[in-house]
Structure 1
């Protein structure tokens, strides 16, 4: 969870808002500034694209930072919305709040939109802002403005310049993004062939959601006459266990270089690269305890 109280005041909140919206792809027309603002904290623009044409769309952004008091943003805090949009030539309204918008304010904005007095509105409250960090590309904004929350939330870092997903081999769900939202992540499944008198060879490596997808993959692998073993992908999100798995694989390749088929080896290397987007970060006490637990389980042969 992010803690918006890390941001000390309204000016810092406006700077955070600017950087957050820029990371989402919007262009700042009027940045935050000291002094009277005429009901405007920022003016940002985006390009709306249709199937045949596109046009610019301008948003008036109102920032409210009430995290310390915890009070919601109400109609008394957002007055004369249509006048403010007209004054600044804006098409829509964005409320960027560290707490929630009141039901009355949301109802008012819906009425203005339905009456076509504003084209659109968006509310970025604390929950929606946090959900935005689950996508790649915003981790730098989180680290700059909310460093303690950055360590706690553990966002994805597109280390190679472009996000690389980890799709489930059965349903296609991105297992890497699921790791940030605390969902049940999934398994890495190893399909192994045992020959008479030969060393076992891992012929293929698969990534699946736990449950139905895992069961379907197990069935497909067994139909090929192979056996399965699995590991919990969420363990690889712990940097200490991640390093342990890599060094273990490196040692195995030294002692038994033919234990993985070429395709399985290539897939596993790509898996380590993909998981590094989630894993290469600062460790905490929870990570170290999980490593100790993993070592104890391995010692028991689990």
Structure 2
């Protein structure tokens, strides 16, 4: 059995998982983060921002902050450019004073979306970052978060528990 986002039942749970992931990141000792602030947008139309992330980093010389606008897309089919067309992504980044935009999807986006993000990243005059975490990238990141696996993936957690008992791990 593999860790799979199919255990997530709806968009609200997917957004909650995404926010919880970034809260959990701040608890890990293997990064240079001194603070992570996760600001969900709340109920109602979000204008393209589901989560605003603020990372405070310290590189042993200087502390600085990076902001990311995060949009979560939970669909039964690949995310297309038309799904994102209601938002001007560079303007959204500018509006929040952010450094980049992260799209988290439960399924692989179309090549049109991937190409759009590559072009935005290469041609953006403001040097904003544009990233996509599809299901495989997000699942890879979630594997390092046992608390989230236990909370959001009960079937997979049961599988792990049975495996531990079987092999006395």
TM-score bracket relative to the smaller structure: 0.7 to 0.9
Q: Structure 1 residue 45: deviation in Å?
A: 1.3
- Between the aligned partners of 1:65 and 1:147, the Cα distance in structure 2 is 19
Structure 2 CA distance for partners of 1:5 and 1:34, relative to 1, 3 Å: same
Cross-structure match for 2:80: 74
Cross-structure match for 2:10: 9
The alignment covers a number of residue pairs equal to: 156
Q: Is the 8 A contact 2:20 2:148 kept in 1?
A: yes
Tell me the alpha carbon deviations over residues 170-223 of structure 1, each in whole angstroms, 9 at most, x when there is no partner: xxxxxxxxxxxxxxxxxxxxxxxxxxxxxxxxxxxxxxxxxxxxxxxxxxxxxx
Structure 2 CA distance for partners of 1:86 and 1:60, relative to 1, 3 Å: same
Q: Structure 1 residue 5: deviation in Å?
A: 2.6
Larger % of strand: which? 2
Within 5 Å, which residues of 2 pair with 1:38-187?
38-50=47-59, 52-66=61-75, 69=76, 71-79=77-85, 80-116=88-124, 117-135=126-144, 138-152=145-159, 154=160
Q: Is the 8 A contact 1:15 1:32 kept in 2?
A: no
Point out where structure 2 has 5 or more consecutive residues left out of the alignment.
Answer: 27-34
Point out where structure 1 has 5 or more consecutive residues left out of the alignment.
Answer: 156-236, 243-278, 280-302
- Normalised by the length of structure 2, the TM-score is 0.80
RMSD between superposed Cα atoms in Å: 2.2
Tell me the alpha carbon deviations over residues 9-37 of structure 1, each in whole angstroms, 9 at most, x when there is no partner: 11111111100122122723421411111
- Between the aligned partners of 1:27 and 1:51, the Cα distance in structure 2 is 17
Q: Is the 8 A contact 1:46 1:58 kept in 2?
A: yes
Q: Is the 8 A contact 1:18 1:28 kept in 2?
A: no
Q: Is the 8 A contact 1:82 1:118 kept in 2?
A: no
Q: Which structure is higher in RCO with an 8 Å CA cutoff and minimum separation 6?
A: 2
Q: Is the 8 A contact 1:99 1:126 kept in 2?
A: yes
Matched, 1:240 2:160: no
